[in-house]
Chains A and B, each alone.
Chain A
């Protein structure tokens, strides 16, 4: 069959395994492989490791080739990586707990001071006068030799001692140490953890990226792979690919919600790329009719003929629960192995009994259009007004942005964050949840969350938005769809679903079966077909005849 290339150019540190897009890529590539195609993934040099990890997680590393045009990333990125590694190592170094064997004696560190101290004591406790004198002379000699060194070390050592005495968290003393610590932290903090939030980093990144992407496009055009799949629209250079290609536009969320996204620093940069891209009006692929009609046709004037809609296949998490470990234990193993990591209030979460703690779940990152604040309001209504005893589990990793809101609403304990969970833990969390609630205002395709939850036996309620309406009929919509802008309706639907969980599960069965019929092989095949139909129209160079004066007879 054919050889298909996948063109990716994500930023460094985009951990694909944790993003929806990474999983989507894997599903589609697996589908292509199952259909008998050969797949190569083309990636920037800085992203090779992440892509390899992603493939390895899904045991695809033997079947899919990774190709980069450069052997190593730009020097600046390498330096940044090292600094970041150092910073993270410092911050998370002693998190993983290793059970210590009690009988094992802790090894005493051989330090210079330790040896000196010991030998001095030995000298002072001897019985023999001669030995005492000899020792004394020897020790004094040693001290004299070491004196200059000691003099150099002494101030530092004294300072350290002083701080450690000074520092006492209870009494509020130790300001000096805290001050210095803070200072050091501010100096270190120039190493941004998140590249998106730093203007200089973003600038460097962008120039490096456009250089490398241009190289990549050249490689594509020269190479012998005929079909190219470009999973995102961020890379305007992809337009120059002169092979059979499909380019996917997942959504233009910032165009629908400009009022929410004007303040984010990364949006203008991406938006500029995308707008440039769309101006050329290339044939594109999207996941739902809503994106096609509303975003691309209405908001960005692309002709409907040039848009193909390929909906997602089914996401089935049930295989993770068939491994033999019950969901409760999967979570326990994960939390035990993870260490403190980045789970907020970890001491509380670590021993939290997920199997019996009644909770609803929403697995998504926190973005403006995800309406998580609305979900919090509804949680408050359910808990405090309706007296329904539930918690909420969120999987977003940018929980810090939500914290002030939570504190204001006194929901810090009711909302449990489980950021960056691997797929099996996600399956376990979904399986133990009472209900999956998806309050989003917009989604590019029918949300994955429904299949994820249903495949492990948890029903969902979702917001009533065009993409969900495309699939849910009116009868079911009365029960499982709510108006995300109306908290009362929202709360009422969630309440009903909590009380009639089994009934809802039964009602959603046909819907899930409908999705289940659509496998990723079919989806991959549709992509392939779209690729085959796509062509780059080469306009023949029109040769014009030079103007000649007509001869008049």
Chain B
């Protein structure tokens, strides 16, 4: 250990001596360095965006351009809206209109996200600010549960759903989301990092009830992490395809329609991309609303472990 320290000191002195010798040396990056950094960021950014550009480009391609060989991946010669226009006709044999699917998606996502956030926030408040007996054990379980993939649960979950009779109803979308623990974990870390006990004590002395404290003090204070959770929850629910719990056409959501269209082969791939593009829009809007808060609350996840 002392060896390492000695080496470190030698290295340090050596370098500071050098620095003194070249006192006129400026320690800013050269123009070339800046240019290389810039290029790297732009190149990697473009690289990240390629699949998106591909999706958008394909959605505007008429069929003969999709079938072109060798394929021109990003280039559209005659952009057209025919893929978008074809979606309603592709669905016409289902007896359910596109607007119904959109309504289902929006409705389910809205309700599920809201319920998920409120329940997680309440649990996190209880876990972090009230010193009851089982809280450490509960929090251990929360962390432990983060390690499992939802697939492990899908079959037993199906059996439970069929026992309580929620198969093929809206409940089959909402209930599995209540079992996720990421929200509780994130919010608890955030409350412990940013909400001092003194606020709650002061409010108690002023005679506020615990529900009053939760809704009027805690919720406004933890708005950033709630918006972050909104983003994550929205994204998961929006793209969710329930495994074998939904059969009726009139309560299916957009992602299920999308995989139905996509399974129709290459002639449908343009329309499948069009639905993909439509599906990407709402999460992006939610991101734009919540973006400035994501950073703060993600960083608080590491405050206490």
A is bound by B: no
